[in-house]
Amino acid sequence: MYKNNFFVIKLRRKITRSKITATIGPASSSEEMLKQLFKEGVDVVRLNFSHGTHDQHEENINKIRSISDDIAILGDIQGPKIRTGPMDEKDPIILLQHGQKFTITSRDVIGTKDITSTTYKNLPNEVDEGEMLYINDGIIALKVLEIKRINDNGAKPKKTAKKNDMTGKTDIICEVLAGGNLSSRKGINIPGEISQRVPTKKDIADLKFMAKKNLDFVAASFISEPEDVINVRKVIEDAGASIPIISKIERPQAIRKFDEILQVSDGIMIARGDLGVELRPELVPSVQKQLILKCNRAGKPVICATQMLESMTTIPIPTRAEASDVYNAIYDGADAVMLSGESATGKHPIKAVEMMERIIRISEEDMLARNPDYYDSDYTTNAEIIGHTIHTIVKQFEERMEQHPESPEYLDGILVITKSGFAARMVSKYRPKLQIIAATFDEKIKRQLKLSWGVKPIVLPMTPDHLTTTYIAVEQAYEMGYLTETGFIIIVSGSVLSPKKSANTIGVYLVKDVLNFGKV
């Protein structure tokens, strides 16, 4: 019927294996819009806590949960993000011209064409004359000319306070080297480190709220070192919750300490907006590839984010460069790609998701079947070994099909029975051509697996024994349309010989045989 098993696998797959994360905002928070986004393929919803109140976020959480309990919710804390202050409502967008003077102040002022406040009050004490500042993801470039203290009445004091004193300097006088439009609350990037650490006071309040609402992931912004991740986790645990932490890599310091950060994180987000400003733009693609590979080898999900389909914020189609960007992120091995402003405030959130899904499909079709050694790590866990072994089983099955094209046999999928999701992630890291059905016993684990490449999670009821669990898992996957009676399935699970250990058993079964076993 089919020439080889690879063709069968491609034909039978109906959805993408890579995942789509969409940021929710004014353009996408209605119930009708959320339903449409989920229908088009959004797997994970991002709530950006840099904007909005807890009441607004709670309203969105309740809407998402009422529509579907399958969608994972990721709360993104602001971290020590430095932003501009509010602009005048009568003139909300101003144009900064090349060569003009412009002031950034720690004083509370309404923004004009000459001055803006900043959310980070110690900023004037942490920059030096001659340094560069960048606003709005690097679109606006400023050179620091002078730093001074101005009293609230506008008068210059007789003495300037010491550097790093919060009561010290207030105003950064700059020259605009690259102009552009400036509106309220745009990001400011500075060279080097700042004294403020993660989590900030605002972050702590937001993390406690996320713990209370039992979100599925926390994205921790501006992580610089592993201690930042540990501190975020402590806040969550002290609030009585256990939430996986996705560390956002957006500073050069984080790249230098990436291995240590990855070790204490549950996943990674490559946030290229700030990273592309603080790192030279030509270095970002290379860094992205290296970080993705390290995450793949660790078996931890990695999200590629920022400006992926940026032009679709205003127009209904992406640039060719943006399409290539999404394609290459998936080809490199990202578990998920993310929409930011495109879905939060853009004019075409549905079209952006549709386009991203179409690009993902093409990239997945073209992905090379890599040697499993490409993904190997130093792990020696059962699940790691099983993930590697499954790659070999699938390859041997394909070779047999090529030698016997008249055979009706085909592999239908991989079923992983997992309590924590770890075994499913270890299978996922080897990027098998088959669908991965992860059967777990917890709704939250099910949603968390929505971020892992190729995984279709399902929830099982608690059962009295291993055989019953296996049968119910196969039956449920069959009823959901993931499996067919005539297909073979690879089942990964624990064993009655070591019930407290992680997955340590692989079996290949005809789906029909398993279904019939349960009817006996």
13 is catalytic: no
CA angle (78, 79, 85) in 5-degree steps: 60
- Give percent of the chain with pLDDT exceeding 70: 90
Distances (CA, A) of 116 to 85, 105, 141, 254, 433: 6, 6, 15, 29, 53
The residue annotated as part of the active site, out of 13, 63, 83, 148, is: 83
In angstroms, rounded to a whole number, what is the distance separating the alpha carbons of residues 62 and 67? 9
Q: Identify the bridge partners of residue 437 per DSSP, sorted by sequence position.
A: 415, 456
Is the pLDDT assigned to residue 9 strictly greater than 70? Answer: no
Q: Is the pLDDT of residue 206 over 70?
A: yes
Is 148 annotated as catalytic?
A: no
Structure-token pair, residue 100: 């003009």
Average pLDDT over residues 43-64: 97
Of the residues 12, 19, 46, 351, which is catalytic?
46
Give yes or no: 447 in active site.
Answer: no
Q: How far apart are CA 513 and CA 286, in angstroms?
A: 48
Residue pair 256/249 in contact (Cβ under 8 Å)? The answer is: no
pLDDT at 377 (0 to 100):
73
Set 107, 233, 248, 431: catalytic member: 248
Pick from 386, 333, 370, 396: nearest CA to 503: 386
Q: How confident is the model at residue 154 (pLDDT cuts 50, 70, 90)?
A: low
pLDDT value for 278? 82
Q: What is the pTM of this model?
A: 0.88
Encoded tokens for 5: 């098993």
Q: Give domain 372-519's CATH superfamily.
A: Pyruvate kinase, C-terminal domain (3.40.1380.20)
Which CATH number applies to 16-80+197-365: 3.20.20.70, 3.30.530.20, 3.20.20.60, 3.10.290.10? Answer: 3.20.20.60
pLDDT over threshold 90, residue 415: yes
Q: Find the DSSP H helices in 51-181.
A: 54-67
- Tokens 């029975």 sit at which residue? 417
At 315-364, the pLDDT tens digits run 999 999 999 999 999 999 999 999 999 999 999 999 999 999 999 999 99
Could you report the per-residue pLDDT of 238-283, keeping only the tens digit for each? Answer: 999 999 999 999 999 999 999 999 999 999 999 998 888 888 889 9
* Alpha-carbon gap, residue 26 to 360, rounded angstroms: 26
**pLDDT tens digit sequence for 86-123:** 999 889 999 999 999 999 999 999 999 999 999 999 99
pLDDT on residue 514: 94
Q: Is the pLDDT of residue 520 over 80?
A: no
Is 373's pLDDT higher than 90? no
Which one has a higher pLDDT value, 194 or 2?
194
Evaluate whether 60 touches 25 at the Cβ level (below 8 Å). Answer: no
Q: Amino acid letter at 312?
A: M
Q: What is the pLDDT of residue 3?
A: 34
- Topology alike, domains 16-80+197-365 and 82-189: no
What pLDDT is stored for residue 159 in this prediction? 45
Cβ neighbours for 206, distance < 8 A, ≥ 6 positions apart:
49, 54, 75, 77, 78
> How far apart are alpha carbons 301 and 427 in whole angstroms?
12
Question: 40 pLDDT exceeds 70?
Answer: yes
Give how far Cα 436 sits from Cα of 220, 260, 455, Å. Answer: 28, 29, 5
Q: Give Cα 174 to chain centroid, integer Å.
A: 35
pLDDT reported for residue 326: 98
Q: Which of 53-62, 297-306, 359-368, 412-421 has the lowest mean pLDDT?
A: 359-368
Strands 94-96 and 180-182, bridge-based pairing: antiparallel
Q: What is the DSSP string of 221-250?
A: TT--SHHHHHHHHHHHHHTT----EEEEE-
- Does residue 46 carry a catalytic annotation? yes
CA dihedral for 328, 332, 333, 338, sign (positive or negative): negative
pLDDT of 434 above 50: yes
The residue annotated as part of the active site, out of 16, 103, 105, 306, is 306
Mean pLDDT of 55-64: 98
Return the pLDDT at 500: 60
Angle at 273 between CA 270 and CA 253, to 5 degrees: 60
- Helices 226-238, 201-213: crossing angle, 10 deg rounding: 50
Look at residue 380 and tell me whether its pLDDT is greater than 80.
no
Please tell me the predicted confidence (pLDDT) of residue 165.
Answer: 44
> At residue 173, what is the residue type?
I
CA angle 285, 289, 291 (to 5 degrees): 115
CB 340 within 8 A of CB 27: no
Give the DSSP H/E element, type plus range, for residue 427.
Answer: helix 422-428
For the segment 292-310, the average pLDDT, to the nearest whole number, is: 96
State residue 304's pLDDT score: 98
Element counts in the chain: helices (H) and strands (E): 17, 22
Mean per-residue pLDDT over the chain, rounded: 90
Residue 160 has pLDDT above 50, yes or no: no
Mean pLDDT value across residues 453-477: 93
Predicted pLDDT of residue 216: 99
The model's confidence at residue 193, banded by pLDDT at 50, 70 and 90, is confident
Lowest model confidence (mean pLDDT) among 66-70, 276-280, 399-403: 399-403
**Strand 19-23 versus strand 336-339 pairing type:** parallel
Q: Does domain 82-189 have CATH number 2.40.33.10?
A: yes
Q: What is the average pLDDT across 147-169?
A: 58
What are the sequence ranges of the domains in the chain?
16-80+197-365, 82-189, 372-519
